Amino acid sequence: MISRYNADLLGEAKERFIAELERQRSWQKEGLKEEIVVSGPLSAEQAIGDTGRDDLVILRGREVLVQAVFRGCAGQAFSADRGHFQGTLEDVLKMPLKSIFERAVLVATMNAVLRYLGLVEGTVHCSDSGPKMCALSTGTWISEQKAEKVGMVGLQPALLEAVVRVMGPERLMVSDLAEAGQERCGVKVLDGLDSSRIFEQCPLVLITGSTIVNGTIDGLMELAGQRGCRVVFFGTTIAGAAYLLGLERWCPRST
């Protein structure tokens, strides 16, 4: 668990990932050099199939889904940057993480390797009817939390609809960079660059897991710590990091 705010959560997750690898007896230096990791952007059809929706971010080209495959196990991460990578696990661990794509490669790789080791599940995005079923599960889950007001950082349309259906638009606050100023399901979307109002007013805040890739997770967790908010991350991207850092995650339909 994280006992205090850390200004570089991805860096800390990487350190804990390496420590986990060192605890595994089968991992030797030669093994790190031999294991091949391939990562690249999936098409929308490969990533989510036919959901019956046209408003998901991957369909609008704002983000791509990067996939790493390790010994037959897949791990994914959303990224605003495109790219291709092929190399060893050791190569991934040596990346400087200066770009969003490099961060996405590391995150997807951690997801794939931890999936292979049997330490995490739900590292592959749901597809076809998955988002609809996820929304139904989320509606039930939200009602069980008994929160007076809920915040959402990063607009996921299906989840937004589910929360509004249960709580009403007046008890939900949303921030998103691309949708700022728009009204969705009766909720005005706040500027994603400044989510402070959400943490001031919402005891429960849902945050997209892609924040660990784009680097905004650090500031958001600092705000949560200052206000004493409960944070629950949603999505597949943060599967491995959530395990390593002891973060709460909700992703009921991922595989």
Position 38 confidence tier, pLDDT thresholds 50, 70, 90: confident
DSSP alpha helix (H) spans, 168-216? 196-201, 211-214
The pLDDT of residue 1 is above 50: no
Beta bridge partners of 73: 70
Residue 237 contacts residue 210 (beta carbons within 8 Å):
yes
- Euclidean distance between CA atoms 185 and 165, whole angstroms: 9
Q: Looking at residue 6, what is its pLDDT? A: 55
List the CATH code of the domain at 130-250. Answer: 3.40.50.11590
Model confidence pLDDT, tens digit, residues 107-151: 999 999 999 999 999 999 877 777 788 878 988 999 999 999 999
248 phi, psi to nearest 5 deg: -80, 135
On average, the pLDDT of the chain sits at 88
Confidence (pTM): 0.91
Q: How confident is the model at residue 31 (pLDDT cuts 50, 70, 90)?
A: low
- What is the crossing angle of helices 130-145 and 157-167, to 10°? 40
- Statement: residue 5 has pLDDT above 60: no
CA 195 to chain centre: 17
Q: First vs last Cα of the chain: how many Å apart?
A: 24
